[in-house]
């Protein structure tokens, strides 16, 4: 059974977490014309449930929230969903919080409220671009590992198959005896 993907499925999924409805609404309005699928959560617990149910590309969270701070949420997301890019957006910018967010939450950026619309849009674009690059690098590394495994297996089965002999000019030398059984 094949599942057809809609254009919406191909859009990056952004999750905004803030305990203030007005902030969530304002951020959604800021991003309404952007090519993103936006979800909103009013608590860290709700955000984690959304992330368990659906893939999230980018998490943007407030810091000071009831029950669980944004920094605690970022720590959990880093462990549970390491592929999700993380941004903190807060009106509270004590240096200890900034340092902890960077070191423990491994965030992409630390933004302050009130935000500049251009800055937040650019931050989201760059965070998603970095994420795409990292995913592509992982994919290519896996492909390279699989290819190296195939070559290793071939070399074990047929010693010398992966060896190339070149002359002084760099041209590949072929032993015609290797093809004697083919004619």
Mean pLDDT of the chain: 86
Average pLDDT over residues 8-36: 93
Q: CA 54, CA 103: separation in Å to the nearest integer?
A: 26
Q: Extract the tokens encoding 1.
A: 């059974």
In this structure, CATH architecture of domain 9-136: 3-Layer(aba) Sandwich (3.40)
Greater confidence (124 vs 95) lies with: 124
Pairing of strands 172-173, 165-166: antiparallel
Q: What is the pLDDT of residue 93?
A: 66
Residue 40, φ and ψ in degrees, nearest 5: -125, 140
Give the pLDDT band (50/70/90) at residue 108.
Answer: confident
Q: What is the pLDDT of residue 176?
A: 66
Q: What is the pLDDT of residue 5?
A: 37
Condensed to tens digits (0 to 9), the pLDDT of residues 51-82 reads: 999 999 999 999 888 899 888 999 999 999 99
Q: What is the pLDDT of residue 100?
A: 67
Q: What is the pTM of this model?
A: 0.75
Domain limits, the chain: 9-136
Give the pLDDT band (50/70/90) at residue 3.
Answer: very low
- Residue 83, pLDDT above cutoff 60: yes
Residue 41, φ and ψ in degrees, nearest 5: -135, 140
Q: What is the pLDDT of residue 180?
A: 55
| Nearest one of 28, 10, 8 to 18, comparing CA atoms | 28
Q: What is the pLDDT of residue 82?
A: 93
Give the pLDDT band (50/70/90) at residue 178.
Answer: low
Q: Extract the tokens encoding 38.
A: 């936006």
């Amino acid at each position: 059974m094949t599942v057809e993907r809609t254009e919406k499925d191909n859009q990056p999924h952004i999750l905004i977490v803030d305990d203030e409805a007005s902030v969530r609404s304002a951020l959604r309005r800021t991003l309404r014309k952007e090519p993103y699928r936006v979800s909103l959560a009013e608590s860290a617990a709700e955000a984690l449930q959304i992330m368990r149910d659906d893939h999230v590309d980018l998490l943007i969270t407030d810091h000071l929230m009831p029950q669980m701070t944004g920094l605690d949420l970022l720590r959990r997301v880093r462990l549970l969903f390491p592929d999700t890019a993380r941004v903190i957006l807060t009106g509270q910018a004590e240096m200890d919080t900034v340092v902890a967010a960077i070191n423990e939450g491994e965030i992409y950026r630390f933004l302050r409220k009130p935000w500049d619309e251009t800055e937040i849009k650019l931050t989201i674009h760059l965070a998603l671009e970095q994420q795409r690059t990292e995913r592509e690098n992982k994919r290519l590394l896996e492909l390279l590992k699989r290819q190296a495994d195939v070559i290793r297996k071939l070399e074990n089965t047929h010693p010398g198959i992966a060896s190339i002999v070149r002359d002084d000019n760099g041209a590949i030398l072929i032993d015609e005896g290797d093809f004697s059984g083919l004619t």
